[in-house]
Amino acid sequence: MSSVRKAAVAGSFYPGEAAVLAQSVDAMLDEAPAQRLHPKALVVPHAGHVYSGPIAASAYKLLVGRPVRKVVLVGPAHFVAVPGLALPAADAVETPLGTIRIDEALAAKVLELPYVKRSEPAHQREHSLEVQLPFLQRVLSGFELIPFAVGDATHSEVAEVLDDLWGGPDTLVVVSSDLSHYYDYESAARLDAGTAAAIEGLHPERLGPESACGRIPIGGLLLAAARHGLHATRLDLRSSGDTAGPRDEVVGYGAFAFC
């Protein structure tokens, strides 16, 4: 293994000690409601675990006992301007819970697309992907990762990447996105309800800049989901005002399963 993308937000977005992190994630999974769904894809939030972890756990609990071996993880690039979609330059990613190898064969396949590149800076500080990894590590075993930071891309470009990597039952797609940002509690609830309806109806054209920071990854998944005959189920829809924050400025969080 020649290079590893080290954890950037351990100790801030989630606990930095392995035992504490495992206990924290397991507690959120235990508290999440049990549902009989077998998702091919998920949409999950990516704030600090204390804020959005319970919402994300409602989706990840569906993966317990599933034979997933490949995870295609897609989220917005927050810190670096990215033309298209960026794969990391590393061979693996790391959290306090261990190391996850990147599937280089699948990475090579999509690197043939003109809008997919490798970029170490795009991944170096990016939390939208990293905060999902401890959940994946606690509910899956022996899986490999194909992580993308999405910047200046289109819904269709994201959908084409997902189609190329769609695979069978052993491949899971995870889109990481928060919903509305910094509206008051009631306004955020109205905006997020509209975004949830767009997701459930597979209508990417109804997602605007105020809908979600990951609206492009979400939109790409909606296009791919429609082509593959999936339907979306809302698992949870709340905000930081419901979990661990004040209500004058909140961030919206939603979890959705595509089956």
* 196-240 pLDDT tens trace: 999 999 999 999 999 999 999 999 999 999 999 999 999 999 999
What residue type is 62 in one-letter code? Answer: L
Nearest to 14 by CA among 122, 101, 132: 132
Structural domain spans, the chain: 4-174+188-249
Given this model, what pLDDT does residue 252 score? 98
Sort strands 41-44 and 85-87 into parallel, antiparallel or unpaired.
Answer: unpaired
Sort strands 181-183 and 250-258 into parallel, antiparallel or unpaired.
Answer: antiparallel
Of all residues in the chain, the percent with pLDDT exceeding 70 is: 99
Query: In CATH, what class is 4-174+188-249?
Result: alpha beta
Give the alpha-carbon dihedral of 23, 90, 127, 192, to 10 degrees.
-100
Q: What is the pLDDT of residues 165-187, one digit of tens each?
A: 999 999 999 999 999 999 999 99
pLDDT value at 1 more than 70: no
Q: What is the pLDDT of residues 138-166, one digit of tens each?
A: 999 899 999 999 999 999 999 999 999 99
Q: What is the pLDDT of residues 43-84, one digit of tens each?
A: 999 999 999 999 999 999 999 999 999 999 999 999 999 999
Given this model, what pLDDT does residue 245 score? 85
Tell me the C-alpha to C-alpha distance, in Å, between residue 238 and each of 12, 43, 136, 186. Answer: 22, 14, 21, 11
**Average pLDDT for residues 95-115, to the nearest whole number?**
97
Cα 18 to chain centroid, rounded: 21
Mean predicted lDDT score pLDDT of the chain: 97
